[in-house]
Amino acid sequence: MANVLKGKVIIVTGAGRGVGAEIAKLAAKEGAKVVVNDLGGSEGGEGQDLGPAQQVVQEIKAAGGEAIANGANVASWDEAHELFASAMKAFGDVDAIVNNAGILRDTIFHKMSESEWDAVLAVNLKGCFNVARAAAPHFKSAQKGAFVHMTSTSGLIGNFGQVNYGAAKLGVAGLSKCVALDMAKFGVRSNCLAPFAWTRLVGTIPTTAENAARIEVAKQMTPDKIAPFTVALCSDAAKDVTGQVFGVRRNEIFLFSQPRPIRSVHTAEGWTPESCIERALPALRGSFFKMERSSDVFTWDPV
C-alpha cells in the first residue's frame, strides 16, 4: 500500500527537528499536505526561529511534496487557533494533528522552580489541548479527524528529575483518552504514542557513569523510526483505533496497559485508620508496584 495519506492535510507540531521533522517528511511522502509547525526555540523553549520549520518544508518540496511552515507557539490559545486557521487557509481542510511539540527543563524535584514547572506544562500538556481544541469544531462538523499525542514513559512509568515533564506527559495520556471518549460519536479518534528516540531534547540528559552505556544504546534509536506508526495512525486504515496508548522503540511497537483496579479489600462495617493499617495495607502490599523508572522496565536493547 502506497500513499496511505493521499489527499490528507496534517498538522505536525514541533516538526522543525527530530521526531516531528521525520513524521512531517514521511507524511508528505505518503501523499499528505503538511503544516510544519515549530517555534524554533531551544530545548527549554526559549527563543524563536522559523528556520528549522522552513528547512523541513524545503526538504518536503524538493522531494515533490506540499508543505507550509508555521511558527506558532502552541502554548498560546490564540496562536494555536491561528495555526489551525493557517492550515485551513492554505489547504482548505485538516484531517489529522500530531501533537509532538515539547520542551524539557529537567530539575530534581526539591530544586524545581515554579517557572520550570509552568513552562513544561504549558507546552507539553496545554499545547496539546490548545491545538486539539482548535481543530475540534471542524472535526466535529466534518465527522472525521485523527489526533496523535506524544506522551512519554517519563510519565507512564517515571524518571528522575522530570516531575514537570512526567506530570505533563501522563496528563497527555489522560487528555487523549478523554478526547477519544468525547469525540467518538463524531467519528474522531485520539491516540497516544510514547516515542523512544535520540533527539535534541534527550541529548540534554547528562551522561554519568551509571547511564553512559544506556545512552549509547539510546543513540541507536533514530527519530525516523517513530514516523511510520505515527503516519499509520493518521490514515483511514486506522479509523477503528482510538483511546489507545502505544510506544515505538526502534523496530518495536508496544501497546501499553491502562490503569485498572488490580486488587481490592472490603469490610462490611467500614474502615478506620487503624483497620486500614492492620488489614487493608497488608492485604494490598503484595500487589504494590516497584519504584521503577523507564530504564528499569525497558531493560533489553532495541534491535
Q: DSSP letters along 149-210, please?
A: EE--HHHHT--TTBHHHHHHHHHHHHHHHHHHHHHGGGT-EEEEEEEE---TTGGGSPP-TT
User: Taken in order 248, 168, 25, 179, is the CA torsion positive or negative?
Assistant: positive
Which of 231, 211, 197, 163 is closest to 25 using CA atoms? 231
> In the 8-state DSSP scheme, what is residue 289?
P
Count of alpha carbons within 13 angstroms of residue 82, beta-carbon side: 12
> In the 8-state DSSP scheme, what is residue 202?
G
Query: What are the b/e assignments for 273-284, b being 16+ CB within 10 Å?
Result: eeeeeeeeeeee
Under DSSP, is residue 269 helix (H, G, I), strand (E, B) or coil?
A: coil
Task: Compute the distance between CA of residue 298 and CA of residue 303 in angstroms, rounded to an integer.
Answer: 13
Q: Which residues are catalytic?
A: 165
**Which residues of the chain form beta strands (DSSP E)?**
9-12, 33-37, 66-70, 96-99, 146-150, 189-196, 245-249, 252-255
Under DSSP, is residue 155 helix (H, G, I), strand (E, B) or coil?
A: helix
Contact partners, residue 115, CB within 8 Å, separation at least 6: none
Task: Compute the distance between CA of residue 234 and CA of residue 239 in angstroms, rounded to an integer.
Answer: 8
